[in-house]
Amino acid sequence: MGYGRDVTSDFEAQLRAVSMRVTRPRLAVLAALRDHPHVDTDTVIALVRANHPTISHQAVYDVLRALTDAGLVRRIQPGRATARYESRVGDNHHHVVCRSCGAIADVDCVVGHAPCLTASDDHGFVVDEAEVVYWGTCPDCATERISQ
Ligand SMILES: [Zn+2]
Ligand SMILES: [Zn+2]
């Protein structure tokens, strides 16, 4: 898998914007998440090491944590599922999750910009983020169920 120069410089700009040094493991993790959103830690490690065998497991763990802390990567954990990571951040998007296989897809906010931030009763809290998870059955699992 080759990454174009423009994409790499995008990642470099993202890292610089949060005052992080541009390193090969950081670029590799961002590229893996761009191509494979909503993957768990083990999958990120496998994806990164497939292209860069010299990057250690521990390095990938450390990079994931640092990028999440910096806000370049979002950690999601629907229900009791394993934590997943994605590089689409800052747009308050939601997720639809398959109960059978755990497949996850992005769902944009329903009407324009962050309307879901308006709680019917905010109990006096200052709300700055809303996370909605839609649970259901993905098309693959639904087809399997019918054919059984
Ligand atoms: Zn499914
Ligand atoms: Zn997402």
Q: Report the C-alpha gap between 40 and 19 in whole angstroms.
A: 26
Which residues are 135's β-sheet partners?
A: 97
Average model confidence (pLDDT) across the chain: 87
- Look up residue 51 and give its DSSP letter: H
Phi, psi for residue 10 in degrees, rounded to 5:
-60, -50
Domains of the chain: 5-76 (1.10.10.10), 91-147 (3.30.1490.190)
Distance 48 CA to ligand 1 centre (A): 25
Confidence grade of residue 92 (pLDDT, cut at 50, 70, 90): confident
Query: Which amino acid belongs to residue 66?
Result: A
Distance 103 CA to ligand 1 centre (A): 5
Distance 111 CA to ligand 2 centre (A): 17
For 26-74, write each residue's pLDDT tens digit: 999 999 999 999 999 999 999 999 999 999 999 999 999 999 999 999 9
